[in-house]
Amino acid sequence: MNQGISAEQVRKQAEQYLAECTEYTDVYEHEKLVRDWEKKGGVAKNVVNDFEKRAGPVGGKSVLDIGFGNGLYAVAFGEAGALASGLEVNEVLWRIAVQNAKNARAKIDLRLYDGGIFPHASGSFDYAFSVSVLEHVSDPGLMLREAARVLKEGGRFYLAFPNRLAPKETHTGVWGLSYMPRSLAAVLLRAAWHQNTIEEINLHFISFWKMKRMARKAGFRVLYEDAGSGFRHYAKWLLAAFGIHHSAILRTVMVVLEKKPI
């Protein structure tokens, strides 16, 4: 858990957010969000360690957390020595994150924005970071283009989101839902499961291949990985030879993108 932020505080903040916002009204999604917040506090440091292994060291580097939520990842980056900043569209989350940064005595630039153009100059950051946000963005292509714009040449973007190809849709818990067109999935979800989750949390279904096309247009290239030994190493190498990141077949797509030279 981040310094100055207890597990009990994180749970209370999750309940506060759910009470003040008009989203996550379904019981399944409500409880999932609370569990995710509790987990986030415990794994934030590990996530930063994974970031450093896959994207690079953060000490003294500028990092932009896109969609920082309760701010615990941004706090962990700050505690690791990064010059951490963050963007969020939800005012309730922004207030919670500011309080968490204050409790941890972390100096982080946390800003509210309208979900469009980032309020930062081009070439401002060494790294960008975003986990479980892309699927809630109405224009993910714009988000990727803005991430590329504010990164320095060669800057890296650690990006993770639920895989559309996963049999069980992450947010609703409904098997096969993400295989359908979004509009049809929304109708069936309301009719059969009495949920309005898709419209309520602006949920979109994204695969590795769709993200890769958008990332290429934004000026990124995917960094392929072959860490591991034996079969895992060979499987990652073989998939990369065909332009496929190994996480394309996992429940969560988790990639590092690099800004290409102009």
Q: Where are the domains of the chain?
A: 7-259
* Predicted model pTM: 0.91
**8 A C-beta contact, residue 223 and residue 256:** yes
Written as tens digits, the pLDDT of the chain (262 aa) is 455 567 778 888 888 888 888 788 788 887 888 888 877 777 899 999 999 999 999 999 999 999 999 999 999 999 999 999 999 999 999 999 999 999 899 999 999 999 999 999 999 999 999 999 999 999 999 999 999 999 999 999 999 999 999 999 999 999 999 999 999 999 999 999 988 889 999 999 999 999 999 999 999 999 998 776 778 888 999 999 999 999 999 999 999 999 998 7
Locate all alpha helices (DSSP H) within 55-70, ordered by sequence: none
- Cα distance between residue 233 and residue 68, in whole Å: 32
Cα Dmax for the chain: 51
Backbone angles phi, psi at 70, to 5 degrees: -85, 0
- Cα distance between residue 164 and residue 172, in whole Å: 13
CATH class of 7-259: alpha beta
What was the pLDDT predicted at 153?
96
